[in-house]
Structure 1
Amino acid sequence: MNRGTKLVCSLQIVAALIVMTLAERTGDYPPISFTCPPLPPLERPARNVYELRPQDIKVVMALGDSITAGFGIEGLHEDPVLDLYEYRGKSFSIGGDVGANTIASWLRNYNKDLVGMSVGSHVGELCYGDVCPPDQYQPDKDVLNAAQGGAMIPNLVKHELRYLLEQLRNNPDIDMENDWKLMTILIGANDLCLGCSGEVPFLTPDDVEKHLTELLEEIQANIPKVFVNYILLFNISQVYDVGITSEYCRNVHRVLGIECVCVFESGNKGIHVRELIGNMTKQYNERALKVINKFALKYDDFAVVAQPCGLDGTAADLTPAVVSTIDCFHPSLLMHELMTKVMWNCMLTPSSEKDYTFNFWEPLKCPTNETLMYVY
């Protein structure tokens, strides 16, 4: 997501003037770690997407914005330059740093040769509306994490997918035709933030449908053997409900105003804007589901599954510990780990049984050799 040019000079001032108390940063959260036992080798690989199991996945990929790029994960640093970095190796869906609790690192327990995980950190890669500079990727660290800070839904096909296809085709460790691949997509927050701020018009639901249809058509046509995790968009205005409980976060939004400012408006104006965002989020998700349903049960080597876990009550039991101390907006490391657990469980649950709440207390689902990555 876009960050103002005043960020570097303001961070040290904010850190000096505002102290987040320990009480504001703690909460009652379960320890997040992968505790599942190893599994014996599969008797045979999945013959189609309806037989796909976690152990079949050989390649991980991701599309998205600064959340998936890992901005803000480590919070404030003594060196403010580091506050502009993305910590992709810890990103919930695709991070591959040693010891990281991510979907990709958990999958690596079943396939030590898993390909595609992003690693380490580097200065942020930013899109500016329709413009995403093509030469800012760092393939040695990004690998198959194509997410870009500030990315919007229209950026996915014309920029992120282009990078991803190039990397897939040029990686000697990937058998493009035969390796099963997992792609995770989380997008839409910038479309809503820029829309409510008035910087650009809201992306219309019709445009959401058009762009997502194009994206999934391109993925299906160009990437064989792929399971797409499409994470339905949570209501970003709920970040206000988390931050309002923290004096530190209230001051960050008042002093800096660097992220999705309209969400943190006060009074009746703020109430109206947050209701508007909630309504637009619902419409975006309805169109996403409409598009996903067009592709349902049509292919043997392609599936896209909506993951709704977190749509309802996302902020109900969360404290300011889940947001970055940089901007009290982006997810902290704790939140990335909670997202890992929730989305892992969601991915391994049939559609009719998926939990719509952000249930991070649910026991970790440990797969067996019969556990599927459910298409329906």
Structure 2
Amino acid sequence: MNLSKGFIVLVLLGAFVAVFIQFSNFSLFSLIGYDEHKSNYPGDYPPISFTCPSLPPLERPARNVYELRPQDIKVAMALGDSITAGFGIMGLHKDPILDLYEYRGKSFSIGGDVGANTIASWLRNYNKDLVGMSVGSHAGEVCYGPICPPDQYHPDKDVLNAAQSGAMIPNLVKHELRYLLEQLKKNPKIDMENDWKLLTVFAGANDVCLGCSGHVPYLTADDYEKHMTELMEEIHNNIPKVFVNYILLFNVSQVYDVSMKSEYCRIVHRVLGIECVCVFEGGEKTRVEIGELTRQYNDRAVEIAKKFAGKYDDFAVVIQPCIADGTAATLTPEVVSKVDCFHPSLLMHELMTKVMWNCMLTPSSEKDSTFNYSAPLKCPTNETLLYTN
């Protein structure tokens, strides 16, 4: 990776400041007198729960990825950043150290805590022996560009959730996939050659948060396409029988629109704006730039998926566009964590679960980018597919 010295300094400084800010959050909250038990945020959202009936056993397992149904999935996996790692999900605590935790058991795509509303937990209704779900919580694991300290993973809790807080696109193939492959091979419950696997990939927010200038190395759309294509090729070459759930990135600048509705969040961002410089420090110009870079990333993601479409019987890369739409900006501040008014709250993770579940069970020609959390929950039958087209 050829990085300019200036960019390395920028990344190192950014990582240091980000960690320092997280560890000093409790002082800010003490100063403004914030009560962790007080809602502060209005909002009216439908309760999220899994209400689908059980299904009879399948007559036969899927013979190829184009016949794959929710009941066929035996292994859940995830690659991503702090969103998938579950940072800040549970908001503020009386013990400020807990504010720094990743609540992996509640992560929308792969959390496995009892009672959690996650994609993996809902899949478990059709396969009680589902393997791979992350559980519980622990202090944050950080991988930020070239800064990826070794031996941070907690395999007993992370399981097959390889996401790392701060992760950028190059980290997925160079760091996270390596962990995932190690754990797949070690787990005696996994039949590597025969078990169908669901891998959710959701990343890019940290890249666009630094990429608004358009001149930062390895953050351009061309570099995004290069790294993500390499990632998909490595997944295909090393993991048999896998359905890649490739989630398009939402416009991170929408978080500005949401958080500015709250006086509390406006105070937070005056202190913590560096968490996403292109959203909170650069003004409207950089928010427009971050939106354009997000659009470019998503356009390239669609092209990457096309490269693999219909080529293999045991591998598919499927675009899930259903959280990308700008209507998410109409949400209330309840959807962001009270830790930093930036990361998704537990409510947002549950809304994402429902939207993405419906998206996965919708044919590609009928998917759209609307973040429609009010739509009825789709319940699969024995004929319902994890659609590849």
TM over 0.5: yes
Q: Which residue of 2 aligns with 1:273?
A: 286
Offset at residue 217 of structure 1 (A): 0.5
- The reply on whether 1:61 has 2:74 as its aligned counterpart is no
User: Which one-letter code corresponds to 2:145 in the other structure?
Assistant: G
More displaced stretch, 96-105 vs 25-34: 25-34
Q: Which residue of 1 aligns with 2:379?
A: 366
Q: Which residue of 1 aligns with 2:118?
A: 102
- The reply on whether 1:182 has 2:195 as its aligned counterpart is no
The answer on whether the counterparts of 1:134 and 1:159 sit within 8 Å (CA) in structure 2 is: no
- Find the aligned partners of 2:94 and 2:211 in 1 and give their Cα distance: 34
- The reply on whether 1:286 has 2:286 as its aligned counterpart is no
More displaced stretch, 177-186 vs 23-32: 23-32
Q: Which residue of 1 aligns with 2:8?
A: none
Write out per-residue CA displacement over residues 97-149 of structure 1, whole angstroms, 9 at most, x where no aligned residue: 00000000000000000000000000000013223223110100000000000
Alpha carbons of structure 1 residues 324 and 198: separation in structure 2 relative to 1, 3 Å: farther
Q: Which residue of 2 aligns with 1:256?
A: 272
Offset at residue 18 of structure 1 (A): 4.8
Of the three residues 341, 346, 349, the one matched with 1:333 is 346
The answer on whether the counterparts of 1:18 and 1:248 sit within 8 Å (CA) in structure 2 is: no
- Find the aligned partners of 1:24 and 1:78 in 2 and give their Cα distance: 17
The answer on whether the counterparts of 1:197 and 1:260 sit within 8 Å (CA) in structure 2 is: no
Offset at residue 11 of structure 1 (A): 2.2
Alpha carbons of structure 1 residues 277 and 18: separation in structure 2 relative to 1, 3 Å: farther
Higher relative contact order (CA 8 A, sep 6+): 1
TM-score by length of 1: 0.95
- The reply on whether 1:14 has 2:34 as its aligned counterpart is no
Alpha carbons of structure 1 residues 15 and 353: separation in structure 2 relative to 1, 3 Å: farther
Q: Which residue of 1 aligns with 2:6?
A: none
- Find the aligned partners of 1:130 and 1:185 in 2 and give their Cα distance: 20
Alpha carbons of structure 1 residues 160 and 314: separation in structure 2 relative to 1, 3 Å: farther
Q: Which residue of 2 aligns with 1:88?
A: 104
The answer on whether the counterparts of 1:350 and 1:375 sit within 8 Å (CA) in structure 2 is: yes
- The reply on whether 1:113 has 2:113 as its aligned counterpart is no
Q: Give the 3-state SS of the residue equivalent to 1:60 in structure 2.
A: strand
Q: Give the 3-state SS of the residue equivalent to 1:196 in structure 2.
A: coil
The answer on whether the counterparts of 1:194 and 1:202 sit within 8 Å (CA) in structure 2 is: no
- The reply on whether 1:173 has 2:189 as its aligned counterpart is yes
Q: Give the 3-state SS of the residue equivalent to 1:364 in structure 2.
A: coil
- The reply on whether 1:306 has 2:322 as its aligned counterpart is no
- The reply on whether 1:194 has 2:207 as its aligned counterpart is no
**What does 1:335-354 align with in structure 2 at a 5 Å threshold?**
335-354=348-367
**What does 1:219-238 align with in structure 2 at a 5 Å threshold?**
219-238=235-254
The answer on whether the counterparts of 2:253 and 2:279 sit within 8 Å (CA) in structure 1 is: yes
Which segments of 5 or more consecutive residues in structure 1 lack a partner in the other structure? none
Alpha carbons of structure 1 residues 15 and 201: separation in structure 2 relative to 1, 3 Å: farther
Aligned residue pairs, count: 373
Write out per-residue CA displacement over residues 152-203 of structure 1, whole angstroms, 9 at most, x where no aligned residue: 0001111100000010011000000000000000010001112238995461
User: Which one-letter code corresponds to 1:86 in the other structure?
Assistant: E
Of the three residues 21, 46, 49, the one matched with 1:33 is 49
- Find the aligned partners of 1:76 and 1:118 in 2 and give their Cα distance: 22
Offset at residue 13 of structure 1 (A): 3.0
TM-score by length of 2: 0.92
Q: Which residue of 2 aligns with 1:206?
A: 222
- Find the aligned partners of 2:215 and 2:184 in 1 and give their Cα distance: 35
Q: Which residue of 1 aligns with 2:333?
A: 320
User: Which one-letter code corresponds to 1:343 in the other structure?
Assistant: M
- Find the aligned partners of 1:221 and 1:202 in 2 and give their Cα distance: 24
Write out per-residue CA displacement over residues 264-291 of structure 1, whole angstroms, 9 at most, x where no aligned residue: 23xxx51100000000001111111111
The answer on whether the counterparts of 1:57 and 1:180 sit within 8 Å (CA) in structure 2 is: yes
Offset at residue 328 of structure 1 (A): 0.2
The answer on whether the counterparts of 1:227 and 1:304 sit within 8 Å (CA) in structure 2 is: yes
Q: Which residue of 2 aligns with 1:4?
A: 19
User: Which one-letter code corresponds to 1:149 in the other structure?
Assistant: S
Offset at residue 258 of structure 1 (A): 4.7
User: Which one-letter code corresponds to 2:63 in the other structure?
Assistant: R
Q: Give the 3-state SS of the residue equivalent to 2:318 in structure 1.
A: strand
User: Identity of counterpart residues, as a percentage?
Assistant: 76
**What does 1:130-145 align with in structure 2 at a 5 Å threshold?**
130-145=146-161
Q: Which residue of 1 aligns with 2:3?
A: none
Q: Which residue of 2 aligns with 1:127?
A: 143
- Find the aligned partners of 1:155 and 1:309 in 2 and give their Cα distance: 24
* Runs of 4+ residues deviating >2 angstroms: 1-4, 6-16, 18-24, 194-202, 255-258, 313-317
Which segments of 5 or more consecutive residues in structure 2 lack a partner in the other structure? 1-13
User: Which one-letter code corresponds to 1:10 in the other structure?
Assistant: N
- Find the aligned partners of 1:366 and 1:51 in 2 and give their Cα distance: 17
Of the three residues 215, 219, 232, the one matched with 1:216 is 232
